[in-house]
Amino acid sequence: MIEPAPLPVVPARSHSLAEQVAGLATGAVLASLGLFVLDAGGATTGGTAGLALLLARVSGWSFTGLLLVVSLPFIALAISRKGWAFTLRSAAALSLVAGFSALHPHAVGLEAADTVYAALVGNLLAGVGILVVFRHGSSLGGFNVVALLCQERLGWPAGYVQMVLDVGVVLAFAAVGDLAVVLATGAGAVLLNLVIAMNHRPGRYTGI
Protein backbone atom coordinates (compact mmCIF):
# COMPACT_ATOMS: atom_id res chain seq x y z
CA MET A 1 0.00 0.00 0.00
CA ILE A 2 1.31 3.40 -0.94
CA GLU A 3 1.56 5.70 2.04
CA PRO A 4 0.18 9.21 1.49
CA ALA A 5 2.79 11.94 1.35
CA PRO A 6 3.03 13.94 4.59
CA LEU A 7 1.49 17.36 4.54
CA PRO A 8 4.03 20.18 4.31
CA VAL A 9 4.74 22.05 7.52
CA VAL A 10 3.67 25.66 7.06
CA PRO A 11 5.38 28.12 9.42
CA ALA A 12 3.11 30.23 11.58
CA ARG A 13 2.57 33.78 10.38
CA SER A 14 1.39 36.57 12.61
CA HIS A 15 -1.52 38.79 11.61
CA SER A 16 -0.67 42.07 9.97
CA LEU A 17 -1.88 45.32 11.51
CA ALA A 18 -4.67 45.56 8.93
CA GLU A 19 -5.76 41.99 9.72
CA GLN A 20 -5.74 42.74 13.44
CA VAL A 21 -7.96 45.79 12.98
CA ALA A 22 -10.33 43.93 10.66
CA GLY A 23 -10.46 40.95 13.02
CA LEU A 24 -11.26 43.02 16.10
CA ALA A 25 -13.93 44.97 14.21
CA THR A 26 -15.50 41.76 12.88
CA GLY A 27 -15.55 40.15 16.32
CA ALA A 28 -17.01 43.28 17.89
CA VAL A 29 -19.81 43.49 15.30
CA LEU A 30 -20.77 39.83 15.81
CA ALA A 31 -20.63 40.03 19.61
CA SER A 32 -22.62 43.27 19.78
CA LEU A 33 -25.21 41.93 17.33
CA GLY A 34 -25.58 38.87 19.52
CA LEU A 35 -26.19 41.07 22.55
CA PHE A 36 -28.75 43.07 20.57
CA VAL A 37 -30.68 39.89 19.67
CA LEU A 38 -30.50 38.72 23.29
CA ASP A 39 -31.92 41.98 24.55
CA ALA A 40 -34.74 41.91 21.97
CA GLY A 41 -35.80 38.50 23.28
CA GLY A 42 -35.56 39.42 26.95
CA ALA A 43 -32.74 36.92 27.44
CA THR A 44 -29.17 37.50 28.53
CA THR A 45 -25.80 35.80 28.54
CA GLY A 46 -22.96 35.25 30.97
CA GLY A 47 -19.90 37.36 31.62
CA THR A 48 -19.75 41.08 32.13
CA ALA A 49 -21.91 41.63 29.04
CA GLY A 50 -24.70 39.57 30.59
CA LEU A 51 -24.22 41.34 33.91
CA ALA A 52 -24.46 44.72 32.16
CA LEU A 53 -27.65 43.65 30.36
CA LEU A 54 -29.14 42.51 33.66
CA LEU A 55 -28.22 45.73 35.47
CA ALA A 56 -29.54 47.84 32.56
CA ARG A 57 -32.96 46.17 32.80
CA VAL A 58 -33.14 46.50 36.58
CA SER A 59 -31.84 50.07 36.81
CA GLY A 60 -32.89 51.57 33.47
CA TRP A 61 -29.35 52.84 32.95
CA SER A 62 -27.50 52.66 29.64
CA PHE A 63 -26.18 49.21 28.72
CA THR A 64 -23.19 50.77 26.94
CA GLY A 65 -22.08 52.71 30.03
CA LEU A 66 -22.66 49.77 32.37
CA LEU A 67 -20.64 47.45 30.11
CA LEU A 68 -17.63 49.75 30.30
CA VAL A 69 -17.95 50.22 34.08
CA VAL A 70 -18.23 46.53 35.02
CA SER A 71 -15.30 45.73 32.71
CA LEU A 72 -12.86 48.14 34.40
CA PRO A 73 -11.60 45.73 37.13
CA PHE A 74 -10.84 43.11 34.49
CA ILE A 75 -9.01 45.64 32.34
CA ALA A 76 -6.82 46.33 35.38
CA LEU A 77 -6.21 42.57 35.71
CA ALA A 78 -5.26 42.39 32.03
CA ILE A 79 -2.69 45.17 32.47
CA SER A 80 -0.99 43.38 35.36
CA ARG A 81 -1.12 39.82 33.95
CA LYS A 82 -1.25 40.12 30.15
CA GLY A 83 0.61 43.33 29.40
CA TRP A 84 -0.23 46.59 27.70
CA ALA A 85 -0.44 45.32 24.10
CA PHE A 86 -3.14 42.76 24.95
CA THR A 87 -4.94 45.25 27.20
CA LEU A 88 -5.03 48.01 24.58
CA ARG A 89 -6.38 45.60 21.97
CA SER A 90 -8.99 44.41 24.47
CA ALA A 91 -9.98 47.97 25.36
CA ALA A 92 -10.33 48.78 21.66
CA ALA A 93 -12.48 45.68 21.04
CA LEU A 94 -14.64 46.42 24.09
CA SER A 95 -15.12 50.02 22.97
CA LEU A 96 -16.17 48.80 19.52
CA VAL A 97 -18.72 46.45 21.10
CA ALA A 98 -20.10 49.32 23.17
CA GLY A 99 -20.26 51.58 20.10
CA PHE A 100 -21.95 49.00 17.88
CA SER A 101 -24.37 48.13 20.69
CA ALA A 102 -25.48 51.77 20.74
CA LEU A 103 -25.81 51.76 16.94
CA HIS A 104 -27.85 48.58 16.38
CA PRO A 105 -31.16 49.82 17.89
CA HIS A 106 -31.12 52.76 15.44
CA ALA A 107 -30.08 50.69 12.40
CA VAL A 108 -32.04 47.45 12.87
CA GLY A 109 -35.81 47.38 13.36
CA LEU A 110 -35.91 44.49 15.83
CA GLU A 111 -38.09 45.37 18.80
CA ALA A 112 -38.97 41.85 19.95
CA ALA A 113 -37.83 38.28 19.34
CA ASP A 114 -38.77 34.83 20.58
CA THR A 115 -36.93 34.23 23.84
CA VAL A 116 -35.53 30.79 23.00
CA TYR A 117 -34.46 31.94 19.54
CA ALA A 118 -32.84 35.06 21.01
CA ALA A 119 -31.03 33.09 23.73
CA LEU A 120 -29.57 30.54 21.30
CA VAL A 121 -28.86 32.68 18.24
CA GLY A 122 -27.74 35.68 20.28
CA ASN A 123 -25.28 33.60 22.30
CA LEU A 124 -24.06 31.83 19.16
CA LEU A 125 -23.31 35.17 17.50
CA ALA A 126 -21.63 36.46 20.65
CA GLY A 127 -19.58 33.26 20.97
CA VAL A 128 -18.29 33.47 17.40
CA GLY A 129 -17.50 37.15 17.94
CA ILE A 130 -15.51 36.39 21.09
CA LEU A 131 -13.70 33.57 19.27
CA VAL A 132 -12.65 35.94 16.47
CA VAL A 133 -11.39 38.45 19.03
CA PHE A 134 -9.45 35.70 20.88
CA ARG A 135 -7.84 34.64 17.61
CA HIS A 136 -6.44 38.15 17.23
CA GLY A 137 -4.68 38.18 20.59
CA SER A 138 -7.35 40.14 22.38
CA SER A 139 -10.47 39.74 24.49
CA LEU A 140 -13.64 41.62 25.34
CA GLY A 141 -12.47 42.13 28.90
CA GLY A 142 -14.44 40.72 31.80
CA PHE A 143 -14.48 36.97 32.29
CA ASN A 144 -12.62 36.57 28.97
CA VAL A 145 -9.43 37.75 30.67
CA VAL A 146 -9.79 35.28 33.54
CA ALA A 147 -10.61 32.41 31.14
CA LEU A 148 -7.58 33.14 28.94
CA LEU A 149 -5.26 33.36 31.94
CA CYS A 150 -6.51 30.00 33.24
CA GLN A 151 -5.95 28.41 29.83
CA GLU A 152 -2.47 29.84 29.38
CA ARG A 153 -1.20 29.23 32.93
CA LEU A 154 -3.14 26.19 34.08
CA GLY A 155 -4.05 24.49 30.82
CA TRP A 156 -7.80 24.71 31.52
CA PRO A 157 -9.87 25.23 28.33
CA ALA A 158 -10.99 28.86 28.24
CA GLY A 159 -14.54 27.98 27.18
CA TYR A 160 -15.12 25.68 30.12
CA VAL A 161 -13.61 28.16 32.60
CA GLN A 162 -15.87 30.90 31.33
CA MET A 163 -18.86 28.54 31.41
CA VAL A 164 -18.36 27.99 35.15
CA LEU A 165 -18.05 31.74 35.76
CA ASP A 166 -21.16 32.41 33.69
CA VAL A 167 -23.25 30.22 35.98
CA GLY A 168 -23.15 33.00 38.58
CA VAL A 169 -24.61 35.53 36.14
CA VAL A 170 -27.34 33.11 35.05
CA LEU A 171 -28.24 32.45 38.71
CA ALA A 172 -28.45 36.21 39.31
CA PHE A 173 -30.75 36.50 36.29
CA ALA A 174 -32.96 33.83 37.88
CA ALA A 175 -33.87 36.35 40.58
CA VAL A 176 -35.56 38.68 38.07
CA GLY A 177 -36.61 36.40 35.20
CA ASP A 178 -39.18 33.64 34.94
CA LEU A 179 -38.12 30.00 34.76
CA ALA A 180 -38.55 29.60 31.00
CA VAL A 181 -36.35 32.63 30.28
CA VAL A 182 -33.74 31.50 32.79
CA LEU A 183 -33.57 28.02 31.23
CA ALA A 184 -33.24 29.50 27.73
CA THR A 185 -30.54 31.86 28.98
CA GLY A 186 -28.64 28.99 30.60
CA ALA A 187 -28.79 26.92 27.40
CA GLY A 188 -27.58 29.90 25.38
CA ALA A 189 -24.66 30.55 27.74
CA VAL A 190 -23.63 26.89 27.46
CA LEU A 191 -23.77 27.17 23.65
CA LEU A 192 -21.60 30.30 23.67
CA ASN A 193 -18.92 28.65 25.76
CA LEU A 194 -18.98 25.41 23.77
CA VAL A 195 -18.16 27.47 20.67
CA ILE A 196 -15.09 28.81 22.47
CA ALA A 197 -14.11 25.51 24.12
CA MET A 198 -14.25 23.53 20.86
CA ASN A 199 -12.47 26.11 18.73
CA HIS A 200 -9.99 27.94 20.96
CA ARG A 201 -7.50 25.68 22.67
CA PRO A 202 -3.70 25.20 22.60
CA GLY A 203 -2.44 23.89 19.27
CA ARG A 204 -5.57 24.76 17.30
CA TYR A 205 -4.41 28.11 15.94
CA THR A 206 -1.06 29.71 15.06
CA GLY A 207 -2.05 33.07 13.60
CA ILE A 208 -1.41 35.17 16.73
One digit per residue, the tens of pLDDT, for the chain of length 208 reads: 455 555 555 566 777 778 888 989 999 999 999 989 988 888 877 778 778 878 887 888 887 788 888 888 888 888 888 888 888 888 888 889 989 988 998 888 877 889 899 999 999 999 899 889 888 888 777 787 888 888 888 888 877 887 788 777 777 777 766 778 888 888 888 888 888 888 876 666 655 5
Q: Is pTM beyond 0.85 here?
A: no
The number of domains in the chain is 1
The parent domain of residue 93 ranges over: 18-199
What's the rounded Cα separation, in Å, for the pair 117 and 3? 48
Q: Is residue 8 part of a domain?
A: no
What's the rounded Cα separation, in Å, for the pair 29 and 37? 12
Q: Is residue 127 part of a domain?
A: yes
Q: Is residue 204 part of a domain?
A: no
pLDDT of 167 reads 77
Q: Is residue 134 part of a domain?
A: yes
Q: Is residue 13 part of a domain?
A: no
Other beta carbons within 10 angstroms of residue 74's beta carbon come to 22
Q: Is residue 28 part of a domain?
A: yes
Give the residue ranges of DSSP H helices in 62-200.
63-82, 84-107, 115-135, 143-154, 158-174, 179-199
pLDDT of 120 reads 93
Q: Is residue 2 part of a domain?
A: no
